[in-house]
């Protein structure tokens, strides 16, 4: 269990005196918000760690974020179609075709990883 003890609080309050002592202060955020650029590699890392644990005979489902995390996936729309009423829809369809494998992987991550919310584009 994660706990901040009174001694930890005193260390923080007396930071000037302790700044050269190499003191470690426990810190665990309540939640981590990730955007596409940093969050997707994090999911890849979790997948790789799960593969390694499985190869070693362990339970890969034990590999999860320690604290709740939310990953927001943004659009990567390219403009292939313009000047038509269906341009937005057609461009979004092309986006999903181009990113199909990526989105499938993220869907796996959303289902497999506890404490991980993945918000898809749209």
Each residue of 4-63: pLDDT tens digit? Answer: 889 888 888 988 887 888 877 778 888 999 998 999 999 999 999 999 999 999 999 999
Each residue of 98-108: pLDDT tens digit? Answer: 989 999 999 99
**pLDDT of the residue at 74:** 84
- Give residue 122's pLDDT band: very low, low, confident or very high (50, 70, 90): low
Q: Which helix (H) or strand (E) holds 35?
A: strand 32-35
- Which tokens hold the place of 63? 């590999």
What span, in angstroms and rounded, lies between the C-alpha atoms of 85 and 82?
A: 8
pTM (2 decimals)? Answer: 0.76
Nearest to 6 by CA among 26, 21, 28, 20: 26
What span, in angstroms and rounded, lies between the C-alpha atoms of 53 and 116?
A: 19
Cβ(70)–Cβ(119) below 8 Å: yes
């Amino acid at each position: 269990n994660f706990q901040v003890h009174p001694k930890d609080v005193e260390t923080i309050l007396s930071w000037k005196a302790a700044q050269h002592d190499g003191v470690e202060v426990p810190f665990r955020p309540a939640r981590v918000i990730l955007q596409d650029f940093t969050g997707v590699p994090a999911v890849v890392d979790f997948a790789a760690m799960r593969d390694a644990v499985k190869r070693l005979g362990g339970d890969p489902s034990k590999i999860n974020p320690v604290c709740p995390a939310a990953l927001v996936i943004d659009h990567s729309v390219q403009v292939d179609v313009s000047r038509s009423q269906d341009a937005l829809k057609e461009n979004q369809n092309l986006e999903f075709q181009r990113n199909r494998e990526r989105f499938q992987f993220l869907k796996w991550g959303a289902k497999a990883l506890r404490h991980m919310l993945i918000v898809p584009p749209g």
